[in-house]
Amino acid sequence: MAYSDISEGVEPEFGLVADAATGEELYRVGLAYSEGVDCEQDLIAAHKWFNLAVLKGHEDAKICREEMADMLDKEDIKSALAAARAWLQLAN
């Protein structure tokens, strides 16, 4: 998984609003967490953000979400999915 296109100025999820965030923005947050760019590496958080990006139609996020799922156990995936649902509920 190559994420060399991430700029050093990425700030994960800062300023994102659930109903206004684009798939690309959500995907880039997932990239940041998956590699630990400007944040602690967190594969559960990466899965969450990739999942949210998929919901917004981002195709590359599907592949990354699958890669994260391969590295996580079932409980971690459940946590990531619950966190994604909670973030979406903030919009309502």
Contacts of 24 (CB under 8 A, 6+ apart): 53, 58
What pLDDT shows up at residue 12?
79
Cα dist. 51→11, 20, 33, 82 in Å? Answer: 18, 16, 13, 11
What pLDDT shows up at residue 17?
85
Instruction: Report residues of the chain scoring pLDDT below 70.
Output: 1-11, 91-92
The whole-model pTM stands at: 0.85
What pLDDT shows up at residue 92?
62
Phi, psi of 29 (to 5 degrees): -65, -45
Cα separation, 71 vs 9, in Å, equals 27
